[in-house]
Amino acid sequence: MFSFLKTVVVVALLIVVGVFAYRWFGPEQETHPDRSKMPWMNKTLSPDERADMVLDQMTFREKIRMVHGTGWGVLKAGDPIAANSNFAAGYMEGIERLGIPGIDLADSAVGARMAAYQSRYATLLPSTLGAASSWDPASAFLYGSVIGRELRAWGTNMSIGGGVNITREPRNGRNFEYAGEDPILAGTMTGNLEKGVFSQHVMSDIKHYALNDQETGRTIVNVLLDKKAMRESDLLAFEVSIGIAEPSAVMCSYNLVEGDHACENDYLLNQVLKKDFKFKGWVVSDWSATHSTVKAALNGLDQEMPGDDGYFGRALGLAVLERKVPMARLNDMVHRILRSMFAAGVIDDPPVRTVVDPFRGRDDAQHIAEESIVLLKNADQILPLKASASSSIAVIGSHADVGVLSGGGSAQVDAPGGNAMDPKPGGSGWTEHIYFPSSPLKSIQAHSPQASVHYVDGTDTAAAVALAKSSAVAIVFVNQPMQEEMDAPTLSLPNNQDALVDAVAAANPNTIVVLETGGPVSMPWVDHVKGVVEMWYPGIGGAQALANILFGEVNPSGKLPVTFAKDDSQLPHPVVPGLEGVTGGPASHRDIKPFDVTYTEGAKVGYKWFEATDKQPLFPFGFGLSYTNYAYSGLTVDDTSRTVHFTVRNAGTHEGTEIAEVYVALPAAAKENYKRLAAWQRVKLAPGESKEITLPLHPLSLTVFNTEQNGWQLLPGEYTVAAGPSSNDTPLKATLHVQ
C-alpha cells in the first residue's frame, strides 16, 4: 500500500515537473496556427489584455527569445540573417504557434534604409531637421506616413527613426535626423511624425534616449547635467513626443548619463520614462548599447539589439532562474513588446507586400521640402528670380548638375540608380556622400527655358569665377555632408567652400548661395552675397522644390528650428567636447578616451543660450523670410484659459504662409534670463488678408521642473508673453497673470 502510494506521489510529481518544464522550456510547435482558436485574437479586448493572454501561453524560452534580436545580419558582413528577417537593421523572431509575427526593426529616419539589398525602392524625404523648419505637425504626420506606407509595402512592421535629440551641439553629425533645438517644437514634430508611421499600422520608435547630443565619443562620453536642466530640455523633447505618439518603442542611447550607460540607467528608464512619462511600450537598446544583464534588466531595458547571444539571451535566462532578475520583470518586458504589437495593429493587420509608389512618395517629399526650405537673405529682392535677371544663370558646385545631397550613417537611404555623382552597384557605404537624382540644374533650366544656364563643379575657382562673371545671376551650391559617428569639427563649411563663395561673389554682384547642410553653418561671406537659401538635405523632390522657390511659384515659409551662430566662439562649447586638442582627421568617436562632458549651459539650449548671454547670432531661431511681409497686431492674453489672441496681416503682394510665433518669459522666481517658445501657428494669407488667431500656451512652456516634488510646477506671478515672426523679433507684448 505504502509503495503504491509512493509510486502515485512520484508519478504525480513527475507529471507536475513535466508540465512545468514543458511550460518553461518546452518545444515550440511551429505549426500553422489556427487563429480562430486563439482568444487573444479578439480585437475587442485591450492590447494589454491580449498581451497577457499570449504571455500566459508562452514558454520560458519563447519569452527569452523575444527580448533579444538575432544578430547583426545584413549590418555586418558574414553574419547570418534570420530566415524571416526582411533585411532591416534588427530582427526579433516571432512565435508562429501563437500567431505572433517576428519584428523587423527597420532604420528609417528620413526614409527606409537598405533598399538596395533587395532591389527595393524607398523615398528619400527631406532631413527631419529640414522638415521641422515647416513647424507644421500635418507635414510631420505626412512624413511619417510615407515611411510607414513604404515599409508596409516592403512587408516590414517596424520603423526605427523618430530621432528627437535636441540641437545642444550644433556640430552634431546627426542633427539632420533630429528636429531642432527647442524641446516643444522638436517633440511636437517628432511626435506627429511617429503618429504618421503608426497610422500605417507599422510600429514606431523614438530615439536616442537620452542626451546623445554629440557623436564625438558617443559610446564613452559621460554626460553630466542636473535633473532640472535635463527635464526642461532634452527629456522634455522626449516627454512631448512620447505623449503625442505613444510610440511602440523608445531606443536607449550609447552614451552614459551621470555615470550609468543610458541602457541601464534607472533614473532615465524606470523613473522618468516608465513612471513619469507613463510609457507603455518597450525600451530597445541601440545597436550594442547593452552593457550588462542583471543591471540592465532591473534598470529598465526590455530588449537587446541586435542581440544574438549577448546579455539578454542565455545570460538573462540564467539570471531569471537564479532569481537575480524576477520572472515578473521578464514578463513585463515581453508584455510591453506584445501589447505594442497589438496596439499598432501589426498582428490584426500585418503588412502586405506590394510595390512602393515612387511617384506618390516623390510628390509628398517635394511638398514637405517646399515647406522646409528657409529663405535667409534676400537683398534687393533678388528672389524670386525675374526673367530679366535670369537671362543667363551660372550654377556652381555641389554636384548640382546631377543631384542633391543626403545624410549618412544609419539614416542613409539608397539612391535609385545609385549615387548620382558616381553610380555603382550595391547599397550605400557608411561614409559615402550620396547624391540623389534630383538635379537642381535641370529644374532651374526647366523654369527658365529662354535663359542660358551653365554649370561648373566649383573645384576650379577660376572657372567658377569666369562663369559667374559672364552670367546675370550666380547660384552657388555649398554642402556640409554629415553622418552618424562623426561630428563636424567646426561650423565652417568643409573643403574651402567659403573661399569659393567669396570668389564668386566678388565676380558677380547677383550671387545667391544655396546651402545643403546637415545643420547650422557659419557664413563669413554673408554680407557679400544677395541671397541665401537653406535647403538642408531636401530629399528626392528637392530640386523641384528649390526651383519652385527660386522662381516664386512657391513662396518660402520655413523658419529655422535651430540658431545659426556667427562662428564657433559664440557656442557654449567653442570646441566640440572631447575634441579639444584633437587635430586633423575626422571627428570620430573612435579616436578618443572616455571623458565627462558637463553641459554648463544647462537647459539654455540654442536661442535660450544666445538670449541669456546677450549674443547676436548670424540667424536666430524661428527666423525665415518670405516674398511678402506680415504685420502683427492686437495681442491679448486670457489668464483663465491661458490662451493668446492676435492678428496677422499679409501686408505685401504675394500670397504666403506665415509661421506666427509666441514666446513666454517666466516670472522672476523662475530665475531664467531667457524666453521659451510657447505656441505657434502656420497662417495662410492672401495679399491684404488678415486673420485673427487664438492659441493655447503649451502648459510645459509655462512650468518649471521641481526636483524635490519630482513634478512640473506653475509659478504664480507675471509672465511676459511676446508674439512675432521670430525669436528675436516679437513686436507684440502682453502679460499673463498666474495666481
Footprint of ligand BGC on this chain (CB under 6 A)?
Answer: 89, 107, 160, 207, 286-287, 410, 484
Cis peptide before 183 (omega within 30 of 0): no
Cα separation, 738 vs 634, in Å, equals 21
Nearer to ligand BGC, 410 or 497 (CB): 410
Cα separation, 251 vs 284, in Å, equals 5
Query: Residue 677 corresponds to which cell in the numbers above?
Result: 517658445
Nearer to ligand BGC, 229 or 434 (CB): 434
Nearer to ligand BGC, 426 or 449 (CB): 426
Query: Residue 659 corresponds to which cell in the numbers above?
Result: 509661421
- Cα–Cα separations (whole angstroms), residue 113 to 194, 302, 438: 17, 24, 18
Nearer to ligand BGC, 294 or 305 (CB): 305
Q: 143 with 196: CB under 8 angstroms?
A: yes
CB atoms within 10 A of CB 693: 16
Question: Residue 616: CA atoms inside 13 Å, Cβ hemisphere, count?
Answer: 1
- Cα–Cα separations (whole angstroms), residue 504 to 374, 501, 695: 22, 5, 45
Nearer to ligand BGC, 89 or 230 (CB): 89
Nearer to ligand BGC, 62 or 93 (CB): 93
Q: Which residue from 440, 457, 474 is spatially nearest to 549, judged by alpha carbons?
A: 440
Nearest approach, Cβ of residue 336 and ligand BGC (Å): 19
Strand order in the sheet with 656-665: 676-685, 656-665, 717-724, 732-738
Cα separation, 397 vs 550, in Å, equals 17
Cα separation, 194 vs 158, in Å, equals 11
Cα separation, 511 vs 502, in Å, equals 10
CB atoms within 10 A of CB 518: 30
Query: Residue 160 corresponds to which cell in the numbers above?
Result: 526605427
E strand or H helix at 307, and its extent? none
Residue type at 190? T
* Percentages (nearest 5) of helix, strand, coil residues in the chain: 35, 20, 45
- Cα–Cα separations (whole angstroms), residue 149 to 152, 222, 526: 5, 38, 41
Q: Please give the distance of CA 611 from its chain centroid, rounded to a whole number.
A: 26
Nearer to ligand BGC, 107 or 370 (CB): 107
Nearest approach, Cβ of residue 579 and ligand BGC (Å): 19
Nearer to ligand BGC, 67 or 637 (CB): 67
Nearer to ligand BGC, 232 or 484 (CB): 484
Helix (H, G, I), strand (E, B) or coil at 239: helix
Cα separation, 253 vs 251, in Å, equals 6
Cα separation, 41 vs 35, in Å, equals 7
Q: Which residue from 667, 664, 666 is spatially nearest to 676, judged by alpha carbons?
A: 664
